[in-house]
Amino acid sequence: MTRRFRLTMGQLNPTVGDLEGNADKAYAAWEEGRAAGADLVALPEMFIAGYQPQDLIMRPQFVAEAEAAIARLAERCAEGPPLAIGGPYREGGTLYNAYWVLEGGAVKARALKHCLPNETVFDEVRLYTSAPLGGPVAIGPLRVGLPICEDAWHEVVAETLEESGAQILLVPNGSPYYRGKYDTRLNHMVARVVETGLPLVYLNMVGAQDDQVFDGASFILNPKGELAARYPAFEEQVIHAEFEETNMGWRALEGPIAEQPDAWEQDYRAMVMALADYCAKSGFGKVLLGLSGGIDSALVAAIAADALGPENVRCVMLPSEYTSDHSLEDAAGVARALGCRIDTLPIAGPRAAVTETLSPLFNGADPGIAEENIQSRLRGLLLMALSNKFGEMLLTTGNKSEVAVGYATIYGDMSGGYNPIKDLYKTRVFETCRWRNSHHRPWMKAPAGEVIPPRVIDKPPSAELRADQKDEDSLPPYDVLDAILEGLIDREASVRDLVADGFAYDTVKHVEHLIFTSEYKRFQSAPGARLTKRAFWLDRRYPIVNRWRDGSR
């Protein structure tokens, strides 16, 4: 009789620090697996603690409570299939990123992470100890190799497991999203199955934590890199997969092949999920934002309405004497199309009062940026007052182009608790608005259709802090600016490289100057959804005070 093995996987969304809540999620998945006749139920990397716990994992009491939660979970799951779950493990004074296998009410085995990532958002070398290479774990009829996340990105761990008798590789992951990440993962995992000749299960978590989004998209490969199954991106699921022993070894039976969304949809869903989880996990049910009539705040309003529901989004117009009638019309049009509440708080009176207060000290000085920024800071003041009064988290709305060059007012329009579009360059803001207008998905809570009026997308961007102001008065055109920013930030290109690409030397140097001198603003800016490998915060860590400039020409 042909032997089979049923694996139940929880592609689920843990919360950092919610040890009991995460344990309950794991138990619910285990119950589904038991009911389905599973031989093993598996959860992602560091699931009991939530991912990433960052320096929280350095607190001995947190680790002790996480291990205790795993022990209680083992007791709850004593009568049924083994449960595999990620969590910390401390042995003496050494801390490991571990994958625990629980069976019969006790800990059956632990796999310990060998390859510790120390790039982009990962800093595991300073948190954990690299464990010695280990062997597979016997579970039912199978010997299962358990390379943890980064372990499967390197040849040595998988080959050691294969050489020591593994018949299948199960890879628990906390792999955060960036644009194109699925293809990168797939390529690495195909390499592992080609090298070892073993089937491979790639189990990834979903959900968001601070700036990072975990997109799921778990999959199963058979030897030679054949895709046996792929599961939906960005969706919590308990998955059942079947394996069968053949005369060539164990093989995965064919399962569903979920369609992988395109880059525009993945980015948009990442921003929606990031905001929804940030609010849910930090205790906010409602948000507010300043709606200017411009494209950035319109997109943030759409993301917020899709994430939380239009009824939980307050839009506020704060017009000054420089605010055009069409901006007021456009802001109202966005709120109306989304179904969000909109309030109006004119700032002309408060601005006049502040100007009068400052006049004894400003007298004789030419008006300039200081006077313009009073408007932005008054808006921040009023929006934060509403946030405090009504318990609605304030969203800030600066795109990556503005964040990069400091085209924002600190303690003004930078005020807020979260920025959904922080890693979205302005040129992608335009296209994302067009994408949202022409696409609707069941996970979007706001209405379908043209929720961002075309005039909002097509009109020249302006901060409207003085008469007839346009962004291009101070910055290169956004297509030029974004190409230079992508070079300097995302590719770490030199000035010489960009000049060779056809950009004017003076323009490149001006943009470089703005990037470096705006570092202090970014240091104080709100977190935001990570969409690329060079998002501001953990991906790109520059000194605030820095006199170096690129001298190449």
Cα–Cα dist 527/201, whole Å: 33
Inter-residue contact 78 to 105 (CB < 8 Å): yes
**Separation between Cα atoms, residue 267 and residue 244, nearest integer Å:** 37
Q: How many helices and strands, by DSSP H and E, does the chain display?
A: 16, 19
Burial class of residue 545 (count of CB atoms within 10 Å of its CB; 0-12, 13-18, 19+): exposed
Whether 149 is catalytic is yes
Cis peptide before 52 (omega within 30 of 0): yes
Q: Whole-angstrom Cα distance, residue 267 to residue 110?
A: 36
Q: Which of 67, 103, 124, 149 is catalytic?
A: 149
Other C-beta atoms closer than 10 Å to the C-beta of 445 total 19
Q: Out of 25, 45, 150, 286, which one is annotated catalytic? A: 45
Tokens representing residue 166 in the block:
């593994």
SS3 state of residue 196: helix
Find the radius of gyration of the CA atoms of the chain. Answer: 26
Query: With contact defined as beta carbons under 8 Å apart, do 88 and 67 qualify?
Result: yes
Determine the 3-state secondary structure of 369 from DSSP.
helix
Identify whether the C-beta of residue 302 lies closer than 8 Å to the C-beta of residue 310: no
Q: HSE on the CB side for 480, CA within 13 Å?
A: 15
Residues recorded for the chain: 553
Element (H, E) at 242: strand 237-246
Q: How far apart are the first and last CA of the chain?
A: 72
538 closest CA partner among 116, 117, 86: 117
Helix residue ranges per DSSP H, 283-425: 295-308, 325-338, 348-362, 369-390, 400-405
CA 491 to centroid of chain Cα atoms = 20
Catalytic residue among 25, 67, 113, 433: 113
Cβ-Cβ contacts under 8 Å for 328 (sequence gap 6 or more): 293, 317, 319
113 is catalytic: yes
Cβ distance 515 to 486 under 8 Å? no
521 catalytic, yes or no? no
- Tokens 């860590």 — which residue? 541
What is the identity of the amino acid at 271? M
**CA separation, residue 416 to residues 204, 363, 409 (Å):** 31, 32, 12
Positions annotated as catalytic residues are 45, 113, 149
